[in-house]
Amino acid sequence: MLNTQTLLQKLDFWLWYPDYLADELLNEFERSREPVLLEYAGRILDSEEPELRAIPMLRYKFGAYEPLDMAMSILATSGLVVVRSTRIESRVRQHAYSLTQRGRETARSAVTDFPQLGWYGQCTRLWLGWRRALG
């Protein structure tokens, strides 16, 4: 589960631009000298991102982060994710995103049918490992 929209948007950005993630991991390695960061960056740089993109991202319109409403509504309506929002007065304070069992099964099935999609799972696991290491 991801507990903030910003965190999900960061993950989205890093997956679309893995070279930036590798560069940030190398910067963090220079500061901390943690060998795992160098290993993670190397894995990303040595891997080959699949050419699967059908819809180009419109970063020039929204900056680094894009609105998630459309993508999340499609996934939620299909029963693949659950989106929970915590409100304070009239604004949303925090979002939490969770894959449902059906979402997990669909993701596994998609990777089985199209193994090149596994690259995104590997990159996500590297990113999550890095986030956990930062605390």
Taking the CA atoms of the chain, what radius of gyration do you get in angstroms? Answer: 16
Separation between Cα atoms, residue 52 and residue 121, nearest integer Å: 14
Highest mean pLDDT among 64-73, 87-96, 99-108, 120-129: 99-108
pLDDT at residue 31 is higher than 50: yes
Tally Cβ neighbours within 10 Å of residue 127.
20
pLDDT score recorded for residue 55: 47
Structure tokens at 79: 């029963």
Q: Which 8-state DSSP code applies to residue 47? A: S
Residue-wise pLDDT tens digits, 45-84: 888 777 665 445 555 555 556 677 778 888 888 899 998 8
**pLDDT number for residue 4:** 72
